[in-house]
């Protein structure tokens, strides 16, 4: 299977079967994200277990890129500390940055550099207008964390 095709499958799988799409009983950090260019919306809640994100809720609607990115993000942040999440976020944004070399997020020599399913979104860089769709979940994640003390 061609890599592009594999990536498309991963994106469609998360779009059709979004992970963590259920409200949380208790939320420690919340943020809403909106991408007016495309009409994408997401509502994000995080529940912390001590220092790590224990549960994540993503409710949203919009295009396949925005919703699959949100679904993958929700899986990726679970069990991670704030510091680890910030590292993951900067790596993801580096991968999506069309002005960079492009592989910063994928450098196997950097510790923890593997983004897993999220790497499927790197093809989006070919469509600059959709980058905002892919980044929406991560911008919203930043905002939610900024509301959470510690």
User: Which residues sit at the interface with Zn ion, rule CB under 5 A?
Assistant: 38, 40, 63, 66, 133
Which tokens go with 71?
């679904």
Candidates 18, 24, 7, 15; CA nearest to 144 is 24
Please report how close the Cβ of residue 133 comes to Zn ion at its closest, in angstroms.
Answer: 3
* Residue among 63 and 106 whose Cβ is closer to Zn ion: 63
Residues 132-149: b if buried by 16+ CB within 10 A, e if exposed: bbbbbbbbbbbebbeeee
* Residue among 29 and 95 whose Cβ is closer to Zn ion: 95
Please report how close the Cβ of residue 49 comes to Zn ion at its closest, in angstroms.
Answer: 32
* Residue among 29 and 43 whose Cβ is closer to Zn ion: 43
Please report how close the Cβ of residue 58 comes to Zn ion at its closest, in angstroms.
Answer: 15
Please report how close the Cβ of residue 55 comes to Zn ion at its closest, in angstroms.
Answer: 25
* Residue among 66 and 122 whose Cβ is closer to Zn ion: 66
3-state SS assignment for residue 50: coil
């Amino acid at each position: 299977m061609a890599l592009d095709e594999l990536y498309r499958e991963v994106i469609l799988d998360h779009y059709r079967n979004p992970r963590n799409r259920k409200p949380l009983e208790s939320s420690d950090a919340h943020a809403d994200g909106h991408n007016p260019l495309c009409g994408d919306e997401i509502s994000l809640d995080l529940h912390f277990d001590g220092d790590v994100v224990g549960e994540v809720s993503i409710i949203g609607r919009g295009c396949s890129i925005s919703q699959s990115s949100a679904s993958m993000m929700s899986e990726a942040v679970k069990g991670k500390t704030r510091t680890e999440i910030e590292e993951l976020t900067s790596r993801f944004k580096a991968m999506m940055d069309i002005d960079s070399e492009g592989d910063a997020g994928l450098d196997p020599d950097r510790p923890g550099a593997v983004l897993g399913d999220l790497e499927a979104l790197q093809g989006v860089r070919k469509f600059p207008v959709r980058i905002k769709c892919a980044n929406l979940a991560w911008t919203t994640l930043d905002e939610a964390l900024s509301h959470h003390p510690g």
